[in-house]
Amino acid sequence: MPILHAAYKSIKVTKRRTARNLPIRSRLKTETKKFIELIASKKLEEAKKQLNALMSELDRASSKGVIHRNTASRKKSRLAKKLQSTQVSEDRGQTTENRKT
């Protein structure tokens, strides 16, 4: 149990911040899962739109201090890279099909 008054206050502050941050983190995870599912199902146009929305959410979360700005940047970079690699593989697949005919 906390002994000092400041320790009680820090517990209250932590609860308040956790209550504020949890839904934001949850929304980020949900949006990320949606993006991954779109990539897996090869819906690239929808995935681009989802990526833009997801990047906006990541920026907003980092500006509010929910996640660190470098974490947001890293996630944005990896997601964009995943979309790009999927697009490249799709393009290569189309050119290969064209060569066979």
Q: Residues in the chain, how many? A: 101
Contact call for residues 51 and 87 (beta carbons, < 8 A): no
The total domain count for the chain is 1
With a CB cutoff of 8 Å and minimum separation 6, the contacts of 82 are 36, 39
Report how far residue 94's alpha carbon sits from residue 4's, in angstroms, rounded to the nearest whole number.
67
Reading the block at residue 11, the tokens are 């517990």
* Structural domain of 21: 5-100
The model's pLDDT over 1-28, given as tens digits with 9 standing for 90+, comes to 778 899 999 999 999 999 999 999 999 9
The pLDDT tens digits for 33-89 are: 999 999 999 999 999 999 999 999 999 999 999 999 999 999 999 999 999 999 888
CATH number at residue 84: 1.20.58.110
